[in-house]
Amino acid sequence: MNNDSEFVFSFDLVVDFVKRFKWRLFMFAFLSLAVVVLIAGTICILLPSHRYMTQEIEILLPIRGKDEARIYPSGKKFNRLDIVSPPILKKVYKNNQLEGILSYEDFQKSISVVNFSIDRALLDAEVASKLSKRNLTAADISNIEREYRNALAKIDSSIYRVVFANSSVPPVLSAKILNETILTWFKIYSLLEAEKLPVITVDTQIDATIAQDLKQSRFIALDRLQYYLDQLERLSGRLQLVQSDRKLTASTGESLEDIVSAMRYIKTYQLALLRQMVMADAGLQTSLDPMYVQSRLEHEQRQLNTLKTQHKMLLDSLAIMEKKGVEGSGGGKETEASLMLDSGVLNQLSAIFSRDASNNFRTMLAEQNLALASSIAKQEEAVSFYQEISSKMKKVSENTVTGNSAEFDQLFQGVLKNVINLGKTIAELKQLLTEDYLSSQSFYVPAGEAAWTQDPLISCKKLGGGAVAAWLLLNVIYGGLLFTGNYIGKKPEKK
């Protein structure tokens, strides 16, 4: 081979190549850049993207407990999945008539809730960057995790992002679905998880019911009215607990305290007067009255006997527990003293825990004993009440007395009218209290407007990096081909 034809690469040769073909290289670089940008833009436009609507909210429920969980007013722990629970989603799906757009199963899969925070996203990215480093020891990883937990505890965790990802639903409808989902969650859970409002219901047709009772027996009618008043009194007691420091009055100007005082007056004086009238006047009694009073007396007596039996069983249980406590207390100090020295530590711990459980059980039995004693006292009062009525009716029956039914009926109808009006006023106050309570609840506030987001399958950063790499590769290939065609295999021209 001829030595003159051999190719020898040198820096001067490269300089000569650039000087000779700089304009061709520049033009190719410019044109190739335009082509690459055009292709990358076309790919970015035509490439499918992940589209979704988001709405961020701040949860205002208080944080309580050792685990610092957010708590509903009822005491139940808040769960982010409550917002997208089936009762909420079914109502939203039906209200927006989505049957013709997507199935309920697809709708349920399309909506989600995540705990979101910019600070947390940055923290996660920082931790991911630290963990991606090579040659990390177990101690390094443990330190990173500890620092992450400490930093995470300082970040506000009240921000949640509700996401609806379904491209078949228009953006405007998607935003409406998100807002309605959050609002529906608040409406439903403000009722479900509110402070337990009274649910005692009363007879709305009490006047018609008592009118039927009057035809049979005045004692039955009086007892029916007494039972109705007891219902109203229990309802008022529950309302007073919920009312707290709220100051509410009905349209009549009466407060809950006024209603309670009026009911006590009716029970203590007016109903007692009407009963005395019936007991003292045989003309106001019917053939059903003695049988009704006797049946009530027997019923109350059976209730009393049942309570006394339960009380006796409870006292027997307490006596057995006390006996066991005395027998087991002898070695208590020795057990505690030798706890650290004896080899059977687990057995000794078990004995100590058993004694603690026994003490708790005794406390529970003592509380039940007090409750049963109170119930027995009330039941004995009821038995004594009907015994007194029965005794007076027997004495009156021996002497015929002309009954003044018109006077009784007039007094009774006046009392009944007052009681019915009290029931209506209590129902009005209950409604006012419920509305006032629910309106004062604030589970959340929006943390911004609903946002429509499109995430391409390939991020712009990756696409841009790929475009730059492709452009550089094209220029290298073109420069290499141009250099090869003009220098390799032939001698360069002499100037």
For 121-140, what is each residue's pLDDT tens digit? 777 888 888 887 878 888 88
Q: What is the mean pLDDT of residues 364-392?
A: 85
Whether residue 262 is found in the same domain as residue 355? no
- Structure tokens, 273: 């007067």
Whether residue 432 is found in the same domain as residue 369? no
Write down the pLDDT at residue 86: 92
Whether residue 277 is found in the same domain as residue 418? yes
| Closest listed residue to residue 83, CA positions, set 200, 188, 232 | 188
Residue-wise pLDDT tens digits, 54-87 = 888 888 888 887 777 888 877 888 888 999 999 9
Whether residue 223 is found in the same domain as residue 323? no
Number of folded domains in the chain? Answer: 3
Whether residue 339 is found in the same domain as residue 318? yes
Write down the pLDDT at residue 426: 87
**178 domain-assigned:** no
**Full domain range(s) for residue 42:** 1-47+458-495
Residue-wise pLDDT tens digits, 437-451 = 666 667 888 877 888
180 pLDDT above the threshold of 90: yes
**448 domain-assigned:** no
Whether residue 232 is found in the same domain as residue 329? no
β-partners of residue 64 are 69
| Closest listed residue to residue 262, CA positions, set 409, 410, 426 | 426
| Closest listed residue to residue 446, CA positions, set 173, 158, 164 | 158
Whether residue 373 is found in the same domain as residue 420? no
> Which residues are CB-contacts of 377 (< 8 A; sequence separation ≥ 6)?
none
CB 396, CB 281: distance < 8 Å: yes
Write down the pLDDT at residue 181: 93
Whether residue 316 is found in the same domain as residue 250? no
**446 domain-assigned:** no
Q: How distant, in Å, are the alpha carbons of 62, 117, 125, 126, 199 from that of 155? A: 16, 8, 15, 14, 41
Whether residue 322 is found in the same domain as residue 374? yes
Whether residue 329 is found in the same domain as residue 385? yes
**174 domain-assigned:** no
Q: Strands 111-115 and 69-70, how do they pair? A: unpaired
Whether residue 306 is found in the same domain as residue 227? no
Write down the pLDDT at residue 341: 39
Whole-number average pLDDT of the chain: 79
Handedness of CA 209, 215, 216, 219 (dihedral sign): positive
476 pLDDT above the threshold of 80: yes
**192 domain-assigned:** no
Q: Which of the four pLDDT bands, split at 50, 70 and 90, describes residue 252?
A: confident
**476 domain-assigned:** yes
Whether residue 397 is found in the same domain as residue 426? no
**144 domain-assigned:** no
Q: b vs e for 98-133, b when ≥16 Cβ sit within 10 Å of the residue's Cβ?
A: beeebeeeebeebbbbeebbeebeebeeebeeeeee
Write down the pLDDT at residue 495: 43
Residue-wise pLDDT tens digits, 323-363 = 665 555 544 444 444 444 344 544 554 555 455 556 677 77
**56 domain-assigned:** no
Give the DSSP letter of residue 75. Answer: S
Residue holding tokens 């220029």? 475
